[in-house]
Amino acid sequence: MRSEQEMMDMILNYARNDERVRAVGMEGSRTNRNVPRDLFQDFDIVFIVTEMNSFIADPHWVDRFGSRIIMQTPEDMDLFPPDLDGNFSYLMLFADGNRIDLTLCPIEKKENWNNGDKLSVVLLDKDHALPKLPAPTDRDYWVRRPSAAFYADCCNEFWWVSTYVAKGLWRQEMTYAMDHLNNNVRPMLIKMLEWKVGVDTDFSLSVGKNGKFLEKHLPKLTWQALMSTYPQGTYDDVWQALFAAADLFRSTAAEVADRLQFDYPLDDDRNVTAYLMRVKHLSPDAKEM
């Protein structure tokens, strides 16, 4: 596997020798001193270029970075609509395990090439034309103190969508039930756990994308309780996961409410929990609740 220094030398040597590339920036976890280095970290690179058409017209220009396992160019795909505002990206996983996410950015956007992301550094600026950046910081990614309205909405969404999971389980519609558990209910639980970590740390750190660093900041039993909300593919397991999520949400949300002086919606909790129990024990051929 090529070392970090070898990868950086390769990227910058290419940029120095291609007149179309006027500057190089880097974003992401490799600029964040709070994230430990590991072999799976991407090289999130931005080439600020004089024109893009010649790059895009030649899909093989990236071959010089090494043999690839697979590549994706999201702005050239029909399944995912472009969202980089005129940029063009190459997501490349190489045979040696390294990964480069390389974005072409037109020089007309040089004043805001990083879209304001504070985890950014300039690696090369041939024309001394890029704005000066402060030292990179992950402050923009710290857990944010919720407003009372945000807190209330999180609680409402958790309890409201829990009823969809129950309905799907009673109907024996596994994918419907699992999708609502995975895509709606658990994300609200994770959001509440993030706020708990925020309260514990005075909202002074990031727990990472998808809460990936939560385990480092939660008590072991709390983390195990969260893991119990990831079920096997049986109806009984999903029911158990749903009630485990409800138990953990209840205790966490009540703690956050107490510490931030919010009101926990106890009536919603009691009413929905009773409803979930009724649905769970409802006969499969029942005609009414």
Q: Tell me the pLDDT of the chain averaged across its residues.
A: 96
> For the chain, which residues make up each domain, given as ranges?
4-140, 142-280
Q: What pLDDT is recorded for position 284?
A: 84
CA–CA distance, 259 with 151 (Å, rounded to integer): 12
Q: What pLDDT is recorded for position 57?
A: 95
Determine the average pLDDT of the residues in 170-196: 98
How do 99-106 and 43-49 pair as beta strands?
parallel
Q: What pLDDT is recorded for position 286?
A: 80
Classify the phi-psi angles of 116: left when phi > 0, otherwise alpha if psi is within -120 to 50, otherwise beta. left
Q: What pLDDT is recorded for position 258?
A: 98
Residue 90 parent element (H or E)? strand 88-94
Whole-model pTM: value is: 0.90
Q: CA torsion, points 143, 148, 153, 159, in degrees to nearest 10?
A: 100
Determine the average pLDDT of the residues in 65-89: 89
Percentage of residues of the chain with pLDDT beyond 70? 99
pLDDT tens string 27-42: 999 999 988 889 999 9
Q: What pLDDT is recorded for position 85?
A: 82
User: pLDDT category, 84, cuts 50, 70, 90?
Assistant: low
- Say yes or no to pLDDT of 222 above 90: yes
Q: What pLDDT is recorded for position 80?
A: 78
- Kindly report the CATH class assigned to 4-140: alpha beta
pLDDT tens string 105-135: 999 999 999 999 999 999 999 999 999 999 9
CA–CA distance, 249 with 99 (Å, rounded to integer): 37
- Say yes or no to pLDDT of 171 above 80: yes
Determine the average pLDDT of the residues in 156-163: 98
Residue in 248, 207, 193, 197 with CA at minimum distance from that of residue 225: 248
Cβ atoms of 206 and 198 within 8 Å: the answer is no
User: pLDDT category, 242, cuts 50, 70, 90?
Assistant: very high
User: pLDDT category, 288, cuts 50, 70, 90?
Assistant: confident
User: What sign for the dihedral angle of Cα 13, 14, 20, 23?
Assistant: negative
Determine the average pLDDT of the residues in 86-98: 96
Which CATH number, 1.10.286.10, 3.40.50.300, 1.20.120.330, 3.40.50.1100, labels domain 142-280?
A: 1.20.120.330
Percentage of residues of the chain with pLDDT beyond 90? 91
Q: What pLDDT is recorded for position 289?
A: 77
